[in-house]
Structure 1
Amino acid sequence: MKDDDVIQWRFGDENTLIAEINKRADRITVYDDVLDGRFRDRLKLDNQTGSLTITNTRTDHTGDYYLEINSEIRERFRVIVFVLESVMKGDSVSLNSPLTEMKDDDVIQWWFGDENTVIAEINVTVDRITVYDDVLDGRFRDRLKLDNQTGSLTITNTTTEHAGLYYLMFSGRFSSKVFRVSVYDSENNCCGPTEAVIRLVLSALVGVATVIIVVYDIRSRRAEGDQAHIHTSGSIEI
């Protein structure tokens, strides 16, 4: 950083200021109380480079982070904090929505995979529950159950084809709650000690938050300028 640099980190659709380094005034500020205190005691700034570290990440830290240098937005980082669910092949896995009760005008959709395919939907307005059995070559046929009170999704009789990312959308907006489902085989079909160790690690990681960071170069906006990093620790640096 230069002697006259002012670096600001902003978060979310409202571009809320969460951290700032002002070299001119020799001041570092983190705004712990914004956004209902979700970042309280979790932000660290590097006063040499301006990099931001978020510790003890939670799903409500999912979203877009903007790096602003001297009033100019330089980069956008999309952070996805997901919950890892590990399930044995043939068993069921439940993906719980954050709702305790759905409202009369709620529309909830569950999306799956890199192509963001809609696999299930609850439309309270028209009192309709839909599971899309025929998408993705029918891999979810007769396997999906929706809770019409909370919108939670249960996948029964799982296979390895059901492994991947599951996104929850409320009334046209993605929830901060994202799940990565890992499906492993029974120990009787284990191929070797390495696979057994991997399965034990996956089992131990059930419910642990993991982070994906996608970096967007605002200046160039070129696809080849994007970077992605995956971290399995509870903190991220951007």
Structure 2
Amino acid sequence: MVHLFVLFCLWRLVGVFADTDGLKSVSVMEGDSVTLNSDLTEMMDDDLILWRFGTKNTLIAQISVMVDSIAVYDDVLDGRFRDRLKLDHQTGSLTITNTTTGHAGYYKLQINSERKSFNLTVYARLPVPVIICNSSQCSLSSSSNCSLVCSSVVNVSHVTLSWYKGNSLLSSISVSDLSISLSLHLEVEYQDKNTYSCVLNNPISNQTRHPNITQLCRTCAEVHLHCCNATEAVIRLVFSVLVGVATMAVLVYDVRSTRG
């Protein structure tokens, strides 16, 4: 009985190491296809190949060379794999087409007694960032600088928003949460001739926007001038009202004095 218990423990340990050994990380952009390679050049006559997905090890595809059987079970797991699974009849590799974030997770390949694992990460496509001038602050003092804001609303994880001057990184901000608005400021001179770029990226892709300094800063200057002119007009109006009130008060006082 002791020997049987030891053999059972060894068998369990072998199973644990077989499930975790050789884990490969694979990344793909949402909507693209990805192939999980079996690393076989061709299958043998007695090969049995099983593909499983997720923590529950749901069987999604299998090949039995001995009985000449090939099957995909793409209706499992709410049909997320429907019409998306393809098996290579020669190597047993599995291809997932038109990927979505629902396909991310762990895949396990069993070739007879050999096991391999894959961790698939599916990244959503990134939006192009937007650059505007920051006209929220109105000041009567003139300045040779204008403030640019690069922003993006993202619904993906593990993204970074950065400002570059040429190839040099000026500033950046990274987030790992979903559904968040990112923004990053940059102060430039109105006559700046340098090349700037705002980049939104994740580990496998990026979106870049280059600001037109002349056009954006002119817009900022026009808004600044309009804002300041409006402020000056308000100040003049308030001053005129105060003068009018003071004049009326003097007239009333004079009339009362005359009657007295």
Q: TM-score, structure 1 length as denominator?
A: 0.49
Task: Please tell me whether Structure 1 or Structure 2 has the larger radius of gyration of its CA atoms.
Answer: 2
Q: TM-score, structure 2 length as denominator?
A: 0.45
User: Counting helix residues as a fraction of each chain, which structure ranks higher?
Assistant: 2
